[in-house]
Amino acid sequence: MDNEHEQQPAVEPKPQPGFWESRTGWSRLKQLLLLEPLPGGSRWTAAFGSLLLFAFTLQVITGILLTTCYAPSVETAWPSVKYIQEEVPLGGFIRALHHWGSSAMVILLLFHLIQVFVWGAYKKPREFTWMVGVLLLFCVLGLSFTGYLLPWDQKAYWATKVGLGIASTTPVIGDSIRSLLQGGPQMGNLTLTRFFTIHAFILPGLIIFLIVVHLYLFRLHGITPSWWESGAQLEAKQEPFWPRQAWKDGVFALVFLLGLGVWCYYQPAPLEAQADPSQPYEARPEWYFMFLFQLLRYFEGPYEIVGTFVLPTLFFLLLLFWPFLDRNPQLKPRKRPLALGLLSGGTIGLIGLTIYAIATDVRMREPAIAVVQPPVPTEPAGLLQRADVAKLYNANCAACHGVDGSGSQIRQGMPTIPDFTSLTWQMSQTDLEITHRIQDGNEPLMPAYRNKLGERQILALSIYTRAFAVGSGEALPPKPVPPPPGPVTAQMSPVQIYRAYCLACHDADGRGNTVRKAMPDMSDFTDPKWQASRKDEELLHSILEGKGKFMLPMKDKMGKADAEKMVAYVRAFQEGKQVVKLEPQPPVVPPAPEQPAIIPGPKTPSGPSPETAARMRVAASLYRQYCLICHGADGRGLELKASMPTIQDFTSRTWQEGVGNPQLAVSILDGKGTLMPAFRGRVGEEQAQDLVAYVRAFGPFRPATSEPPPGDFEKRFRELQDQWRELQRQLQELSAPPRKP
């Protein structure tokens, strides 16, 4: 600005500085950065340095992008990188750019170094430019080392472990260095956070600072002339950075970017299984550290430190102070045999060692790649406690199956989810089936846990699953069993079906008189007019889909074929030709196939006398015949709740406590309200008492008189209990610490 002010009063009024210019003075910045003359002019060989700058910028950009989804901690580092890799749009590509970009930087640095070495660009007065460059090289190697750990996969973990081990061989301060880097006595969360800080903040910051110094020094001394050019030639070719050198740099950058992009498109960055210190692994460093790795093989025992510390340090020092060691002022390569001999020897040695190391490297076992092969499940060693199993369940299963195992919270969206508290379900599953389900899942809903959990854990979970239905301390008290899904009438004859589902309302004679008071629309099957007014299809539809307020849809209980049979059965009532035989005559054993439809809810107290047992069986069958259709298999009356809002929930404590036994018996015999029919005549007084006991058994407390429902059920229940004990014993055996007597 000062200049411009001074020039203002001059003869010709200069054009007023524009809006931006007067506020930022950017043209001076442009002058400084872009228009300063470069001695020797633009050249392709100078583009290597800019390319490095470009590659670094790319690393910074992709690094920042990765950081938006990366969470450095032992639990989250690997999952978040996997998430980037697999879930985030373009995540895999950005990660590949960052991963392969870091390798590319190392290669570019090597090129750059060789180039300036051959040109003798480190010679007086450019010693410091070289030294800053060497520092930059080591900072980038530091970035690679720290970045390598961040994905926290097996190779990251083990390579870093070895790397830290190498650092700790530094004389005197080795252990301190390791502790400082590690952030604690072991590799873990603090290692990750520290490495991340170093990787994403400290080293990039330092590098940017060093780059500024590097470039400043470079501009200060100008480009080193090629040895075949004279001073006069250089003068003549002088031109500004902009636009020719920028063009050359740009072309290089474009080629580099396209090459890297194509490479990354086809070659995703590897991600191995999540780090697991208990899994054996053959640690390997990134390829550009392989020469060091190889070097270590030549120094054993007390000489190891030569490979881990002495040689690398000497190498670093030699490189750093090289400009002061090589006093030869000549630029022509022919006149610098020693220097170039060292360079070629060093380079060939380095590359040779790297290739040799990679070629002869035999791994006993292939590393597990995360994308292809998920992590090997890990199991805590030692005792598997009940609490651990509960934790496992809560962590893996409860999201869908609920902490109570009922799966009720998501049944709406996932109708096929089983109810572990249902004995019907429990009985339909063998232990093997349950374990198999957990291991292999049932896509797409039930995930496979084969790779997430160990065998012992899966076995434990299958036992835990059992526990929801069979008395266990933790699981909720078992609930009454809802009717199972799917047609349950498959093997029932029409009479049985009629008894089970229709008789309660339509009566044994098909007239439906008992409930007509409450349900005035009740059809009379014996009425020829009614029969004539209904087509078979209509009847079929009503049976399957329900009709009006009270007729429940049966489609979840029977298939179409059964429903057709029932239509015929209904037709047969015409003119009173058919009467269903009632069957409350004790003792009635229910037909076996009916079993799964209506496993009565109440659970058993111990030790019923054979006589009570028989009576309860009768009560169960009565309930099934007359009550179940409205009150439900579980006594809650859910299905008809909508049309009969006053229906009671037998499982409710309040209701159970608020009503006395005689009152219940009266309701059963004489009906209640408009909807509950009177059952006197179909149910004897004593049977009514038994039904009261049966209804009581739905409640939260279990009266001593209540009794296990039909025999088969009881047997299965016992079996299940035995199985449970056996499994528990197995579990104990599995988890028992080896005890020596």
Which residues in this chain contact other proteins in the complex, by CB under 8 A?
58, 61-62, 65, 68-69, 71, 76, 79-80, 82-83, 87-91, 93-94, 97, 242-244, 246-247, 250-251, 253-254, 257, 261, 399, 402, 408-410, 412-414, 636, 638, 641, 645, 649, 651-652, 654
Supply the DSSP string of 378-442, one letter for each residue: ---SS---HHHHHHHHHHHTHHHH-TTS--HHHHTT-TT---TT-HHHHHH--HHHHHHHHHH-B
Asked if residues 198 and 140 have their Cβ atoms less than 8 Å apart, the reply is no
Asked if residues 400 and 475 have their Cβ atoms less than 8 Å apart, the reply is no
Q: Nearest-5° angle of CA 428, CA 429, CA 432?
A: 155
Tell me how far, at minimum, the Cβ of 57 lies from other proteins, in Å: 8
Q: Whose Cβ is closer to ligand HEM: residue 160's or residue 578's?
A: 160
- Choose, by CB under 6 A, the member of 108, 113, 150, 290 that binds ligand HEM: 150
Which partner, ligand HEM, other proteins, none, binds residue 667 by CB below 5 to 8 Å per kind?
Answer: none
Q: Whose Cβ is closer to other proteins: residue 507's or residue 639's?
A: 639
Tell me how far, at minimum, the Cβ of 59 lies from ligand HEM, in Å: 4
| By CB under 6 A, residue 133 contacts ligand HEM | no
Residue 4 one-letter amino acid: E
Which partner, other proteins, ligand HEM, none, binds residue 246 by CB below 5 to 8 Å per kind?
Answer: other proteins
Measured distance CA(384)–CA(734) in Å, rounded: 8
| By CB under 6 A, residue 269 contacts ligand HEM | yes
Segment contacting ligand HEM by CB under 6 A, of 93-101, 446-454, 525-533, 540-548: 93-101
Asked if residues 552 and 640 have their Cβ atoms less than 8 Å apart, the reply is yes
| By CB under 6 A, residue 403 contacts ligand HEM | no
Q: Whose Cβ is closer to other proteins: residue 61's or residue 311's?
A: 61
63 backbone dihedrals φ, ψ, rounded to 5°: -60, -45
What is the 8-class DSSP label of residue 334? G
Which partner, ligand HEM, other proteins, none, binds residue 410 by CB below 5 to 8 Å per kind?
Answer: other proteins
Which partner, other proteins, ligand HEM, none, binds residue 402 by CB below 5 to 8 Å per kind?
Answer: other proteins
Measured distance CA(104)–CA(109) in Å, rounded: 8
Buried b (16+ CB within 10 A) or exposed e, 709-739: bbeebbeebeebeebbeebbeebeeebeeee
- Choose, by CB under 6 A, the member of 40, 41, 48, 70 that binds ligand HEM: 70
- Choose, by CB under 6 A, the member of 147, 484, 602, 637 that binds ligand HEM: 147
Q: Whose Cβ is closer to ligand HEM: residue 64's or residue 476's?
A: 64
| By CB under 6 A, residue 144 contacts ligand HEM | yes
Burial of 345 (0-12, 13-18, 19+ CB in 10 A): exposed
548 backbone dihedrals φ, ψ, rounded to 5°: 60, -155
Tell me how far, at minimum, the Cβ of 184 lies from ligand HEM, in Å: 21
Q: Whose Cβ is closer to other proteins: residue 94's or residue 200's?
A: 94
Segment contacting ligand HEM by CB under 6 A, of 199-207, 381-389, 495-503, 709-717: 199-207
- Choose, by CB under 6 A, the member of 47, 134, 143, 217 that binds ligand HEM: 143
Residue 36 one-letter amino acid: E
Q: Quick one: which H or E segment has residue 37?
A: strand 37-38
Measured distance CA(727)–CA(656) in Å, rounded: 36
Q: Whose Cβ is closer to other proteins: residue 77's or residue 292's?
A: 77
| By CB under 6 A, residue 163 contacts ligand HEM | no
Measured distance CA(247)–CA(240) in Å, rounded: 12
Which partner, ligand HEM, other proteins, none, binds residue 641 by CB below 5 to 8 Å per kind?
Answer: other proteins
Closest listed residue to residue 291, CA positions, set 340, 339, 348, 343: 348
Segment contacting ligand HEM by CB under 6 A, of 55-63, 208-216, 679-687, 688-696: 55-63
Measured distance CA(49)–CA(38) in Å, rounded: 15
| By CB under 6 A, residue 151 contacts ligand HEM | yes
What is the 8-class DSSP label of residue 618? H
Tell me how far, at minimum, the Cβ of 75 lies from ligand HEM, in Å: 16
354 backbone dihedrals φ, ψ, rounded to 5°: -65, -50
- Choose, by CB under 6 A, the member of 35, 53, 60, 340 that binds ligand HEM: 60
| By CB under 6 A, residue 82 contacts ligand HEM | no
| By CB under 6 A, residue 67 contacts ligand HEM | yes
Tell me how far, at minimum, the Cβ of 213 lies from other proteins, in Å: 25
- Is 277 in a helix, a strand, or coil? coil
Helices (H), 170-321: 174-182, 189-197, 203-221, 231-237, 246-266, 290-298, 304-305, 311-320
Which partner, other proteins, ligand HEM, none, binds residue 283 by CB below 5 to 8 Å per kind?
Answer: none
Measured distance CA(562)–CA(493) in Å, rounded: 9
Tokens representing residue 6 in the block? 């001074």
Strands 37-38 and 239-240, by their bridges, are: antiparallel
Q: Whose Cβ is closer to ligand HEM: residue 285's or residue 635's?
A: 285
| By CB under 6 A, residue 211 contacts ligand HEM | no
Can you give the binding site for ligand HEM, defined by CB under 6 A?
A: 56, 59-60, 63-64, 66-67, 70, 81, 95, 98-99, 102, 105, 140, 143-144, 147-148, 150-151, 199-200, 204, 269
